[in-house]
Chains A and B, each alone.
Chain A
Amino acid sequence: MHTPSTAKPGTRTITMKIKRCDGPGKPERWESFSLSVTTGQGMNIIAALQVIAAKPVTVEGSRTTPVVWDSGCLEEVCGACTMVVNGKVRQTCSALLDQIAPNDGDVVTLEPMSKFPVVRDLSVNRQRVFHNLKRVSAWVPIDGTYALGPGPRETPAEQEVRYTLSTCMSCGCCLEACPQFNQEPDSKNWDTAFLGAHAISQARLFNSHATGKELAPQRLDALSGPGGVGDCGNAQNCVKVCPKKIPLTESIGAMGRAVTIHAVKKLFTMK
């Protein structure tokens, strides 16, 4: 996008191969679209989908409906546009075609995330991600939005740890990559199915805040129960796909230890 104006950009043709589905319970199908891309223009997958939406005609020349997808900020800070690109989960706004399909004839495969129910085409329902934040009480229990003086002081080192944990956008990459996290269509089972790395890491975030700590016992109870930190199979895929480089395995380790100490304490206090 930012090549100096002297650069002579070349044009190539690539194929966008997209897994489509008209709605829950409907059959899946693949459709391919041909796309002309000019090098150096910063074209990403979202821009490609926009071009297809304006003229939805497949490589076979048959007319189809525009592809449905989710997107938001297009700056990799909202998490909305997460999909499986060439077999790997990631945000599609930051998937630049010059990088993932640099040559004429390259094919880009797009699929919806598999761990969440498909709404339509590339759009999935990630309600469970937010539900799991409730399971671990992912908030600081303040007295309300009134001015009651400053919050607790903290060192720059503490702030840096919390800031990194707090950049989690609930995108679901860590869940898509996790062998222990599986699709659970029945929301009645959500409270006992595996929470996933993001929620465990959020528990760590709030347990490391001076006021947030107040709810640590109930967070650790949630992490001790079914679907808690014990369900982690230590595959360590989560940390590899996290777009914000959150140290998820560190969080899982820290919460695992905290859960053990919590259990021992409970044993001795007979609570």
Chain B
Amino acid sequence: MAATGNEKRVIVVGGGLAGLAASARLVEAGVGVDLFSVVPVKRSHSVCAQGGINACNEVARQQGYSEYEHFDETVYGGDFLADQHPVLEMANWAPRIIDVLDRMGVPFNRTSEGYRDLRLFGGSLFKRTHFSGATTGQQLIYALDEQVRRHESEGNVTKYEHWEFLWPVIESGRCVGIVARDIRTMQIRAFRADAVIMATGGCGLIFGKSTNSVMCNGAAAARCFRAGVHYANAEMIQVHPTAIPGADKLRLMSESARGEGGRVWVPALKRPDGTWGVHPRSGQDPKTIPENERYYFLEERYPAYGNIVPRDIATREIFDLCVNHGMGVGGGQQVYLDLTHKPKEYLQKKLEGILEIYEKFVGEDPYTTPMRIFPGVHYSMGGLWTSFTPGSYTPATPRTKHKSGTRAPINAEIGQGMALGEFNNAMTNVQGLYAFGEVSFAYHGANRLGANALLSCIFDGVFCGVSVANYVRSGPSSNKPTKDISQSLYDGAVAQESAKVKKLVDAVDTTGADDPATNPYIIGRELGVEMTEACTVVRTGPRLERCLSKLGELKARYSKLKLADAGGWTNQSMAYARSVGDMLILAEALALGAFRRQESRGAHYRPDFPDRNDQEFMKSTVARCSPSGEVSVEFVPIDATLIQPTARTYGKKDDKPANPAPTRPSDASGANVPTGSLAGAGV
């Protein structure tokens, strides 16, 4: 299969940051890699990450910051839902990861002395975000892409670009390969592997429009889910506060715009009692609104963090202001994100990439005119369930919240959070099947802090990559190498996938009748609208129940699907139609998890259960899919042995988290906005 003599081989599915970092680490450990990706790996969705990557650094350290505080911030930011030991290990590795990237040649922004520059980011009062302009994800993935290209040219990595993962091959609970399809020739093949790493990213397309790339449909994760892999915290979806609404997608406006001093405001008039009311000229030229008629609502409500409160909080505040109080710009669903007070030269050095995107797609100059933004679906904290072996740090009782800027209780030695090299780190419930990066549920709990995603992807690759290397070299099944497994197992898996394709091709609509009920694009669009309305910023029991029944209807229609193209060559509509079925399954796990989690935590806000309920729900929502496709959910205890949960207020003035009421006071069903950037689905 590959050009090298590596005795053990690992399949990596997905060539974004997590998959590329894993590939490099495995090759260094002497393991050969077969790398599968639906797009050329350099074009993976990681390119869209903008703001930066977090790590404790010397400047912050001398102000009292530490890896431990990074860990504490991340757990608190995630509203105490993440297993804590893995988060600790990730924070401890962060400075090492920055150094590696630096050596690879990532053009991190520099200070005048030539050191790596730093910026503020959400959820921290210390500058601990390293960045490369405002296209940090692009620069990081290019660096890793270059390293993997080097390994490829040396024969240690074989790339299968334009190949789509279809199914994991599992024998007696152990993953021994995959079935994949060449999306150009349509050929379906099985591939053997001693371990498989899923690094396939998020599932934003379930919501129709999101900040995600077109391939982020969660299909690969859904196929693993159907094959018996557990999926955890599906309901934890991050809605980013600042996106640019568009016809085909919502373009991200990085949190770094706020980290670099951007201020969020709406035109408003201050009443005598100190509260704010609608401004009659809202929507007209913002430059004509005087300073005292600008309501900087995040700064007023959160004096300590201001505009850099975590994303779930900023999103709810913007949503509340626009939807419940009608105070959005021009009465619509938009607020200003204002950078016009900063010098143009400064902005060009630090944010040019994103400001260019805004200018290009909106046609307004963000250097002189405040940008108009609104929340949009951005990231999945949930994902395939994975396990870990806790490290050496095991305090007798969980500590209270770390006092910011004070000495850390422990140093940052390797192995305090997770035990390096243990087989089960980042392994799913199926032996030999791992999940790295966004497709894993680990690290971010109920809300991800900005600039922690790039970190978690690369950390999985370099840290958990060691676990995979150990597993294939000396794991429990190393005495039965995959090459000794009967070919009939693989042939059977190919036959099963070929049958699924045949079923779709047989369902081609040659009549041209165009029944929207069975058109995959229409079903996909309706799914996006429904999920956006029921499962984003505000969720209520009755609305989620309606959503689940709508999903049932869509599934029934999907079973009678009609395709517009029966072609046996580069048939994109067939690939899309398949992904719609996968999105429907993940959507069900998501809506069911949201329905069953009767509390509010992080990104998951239930006005019918407005408080966090640690007693019952400081647990992972673990979804399973039966062979017949029935989705069920149970709550599984988490590892909260390091930090005690505390109220997550970010110093809000009235000391309550931001809790918008249901969308329209009269509508107890709590639907989200029917129009605007959070509604409407692309395909």
A interface residue numbers (CB < 8 A to B): 1-2, 4-6, 22-23, 41-44, 46-47, 50, 53-57, 63, 65-66, 68-69, 71-80, 93-94, 96, 119-120, 123, 125-127, 130, 133-134, 137-142, 144-151, 153-156, 158-160, 162-163, 166-167, 169-170, 206, 209, 211-212
Contact = CB atoms under 8 A, between A and B. Distances in A.
Nearest to B42: A170
B507 interface: no
Contacts, number: 231
Interface string B553-591: 000000000001101011011001000000000000000
B39 A72 contact: yes
Given A72-B43, A134-B153, A142-B147, A96 B361 contact: yes
A78 B214 CA distance: 11
A72 B247 contact: no
A159 B108 contact: yes
B139 A163 contact: yes
Given A53-B683, A145-B21, 11 more contacts: A1-B246, A1-B361, A43-B247, A55-B514, A76-B357, A78-B39, A125-B184, A134-B153, A145-B25, A146-B100, A153-B115
A263 B97 CA distance: 39
B138 A167 contact: yes
Interface in B609-642: none
A199 B332 CA distance: 47
A142 B247 contact: no
Contacts of A133: 146, 149
A126 B39 CA distance: 11
A17 B206 CA distance: 31
28 contacts: A1-B361, A1-B362, A2-B363, A4-B329, A42-B245, A42-B362, A44-B246, A50-B683, A54-B525, A55-B514, A65-B564, A66-B565, A69-B572, A72-B45, A72-B213, A72-B215, A74-B249, A123-B570, A127-B161, A139-B150, A142-B104, A142-B147, A146-B100, A148-B103, A155-B114, A156-B112, A159-B107, A170-B42
Interface string B379-401: 00000000000000000000000
A100 to B, nearest CB: 13
B362 A2 contact: yes
Contacts of A127: 161
A208 to B, nearest CB: 10
B109 interface: yes
Contacts of B331: 5
Interface string B304-319: 0000000000000000
Interface in B77-112: 95-97, 99-100, 102-105, 107-112
Nearest to B682: A50
B521 A22 contact: no
B283 A141 contact: no
Contacts of B252: 75
A240 to B, nearest CB: 17
A154 B43 contact: no
B122 interface: no
Nearest to A149: B99
Contact of A163 (B116, B133, B251): B133
B151 to A, nearest CB: 9
B588 to A, nearest CB: 23
B522 interface: yes
**Which of A1, A43, A141, A146 has the most B CB atoms < 10 Å from its CB?**
A1
B497 interface: no
A153 B114 CA distance: 5
Interface string B246-290: 111101100000000000000000000000000000011000000
B244 A130 contact: no
Interface in B494-528: 512, 514, 519, 521-522, 525
Contacts of B606: none
Contacts of A72: 39, 43, 45, 47, 213-215
A166 B251 contact: no
Interface string B349-389: 10001000100111110000000100000000000000000
B107 A54 contact: no
B251 A74 contact: yes
B327 interface: no
Contact of A63 (B111, B334, B512, B683): B512
Contacts of B542: none
Contact of A126 (B40, B44, B150, B245): B40
A124 to B, nearest CB: 11
Interface string B640-670: 0000000000000000000000000000000
Contacts of B363: 2, 96
The list of the 9 closest CB pairs from A to B, nearest first, reads A147-B96, A151-B102, A54-B521, A139-B146, A153-B114, A47-B248, A120-B570, A151-B103, A163-B107
Nearest to A147: B96
A135 B135 CA distance: 26
A155 B113 CA distance: 7
A152 B662 CA distance: 53
A155 B108 CA distance: 11
Contacts of A126: 40
A206 to B, nearest CB: 7
Contacts of B244: 1-2
Interface string B56-67: 000000000000
Contacts of A66: 564-565, 572-573
A159 B110 CA distance: 7
A23 B149 contact: no
A158 B110 CA distance: 9
B24 interface: yes
A104 to B, nearest CB: 19
Contact of B146 (A4, A43, A46, A140): A140
Contact of A130 (B28, B42, B100, B521): B42
Contacts of B28: 144-145
Nearest to B357: A75
Contact of A42 (B102, B132, B247, B565): B247
Interface string B131-160: 011010011001100110110110000000
B682 A4 contact: no
B578 to A, nearest CB: 14
Contact of A23 (B147, B364, B570): B570
B455 to A, nearest CB: 14
B462 interface: yes
Contacts of B105: 139-140, 151, 162, 206, 209, 211-212
Interface string B517-548: 00101100100000000000000000000000
Given A63-B512, A68-B572, A130 B149 contact: yes
A148 B28 CA distance: 15
Contact of A74 (B138, B248, B525, B572): B248
A160 B214 CA distance: 31
B330 interface: yes
A19 B398 CA distance: 65
Contacts of A1: 244-247, 361-362
Contacts of B108: 159
B43 A65 contact: no
Interface string B157-200: 00001000000000000000000000010000000000000000
Given A72-B213, A75-B251, A163-B132, A150 B102 contact: yes
B53 interface: no
Contact of B682 (A47, A77, A125): A47
A169 B137 CA distance: 12
A78 B47 contact: yes
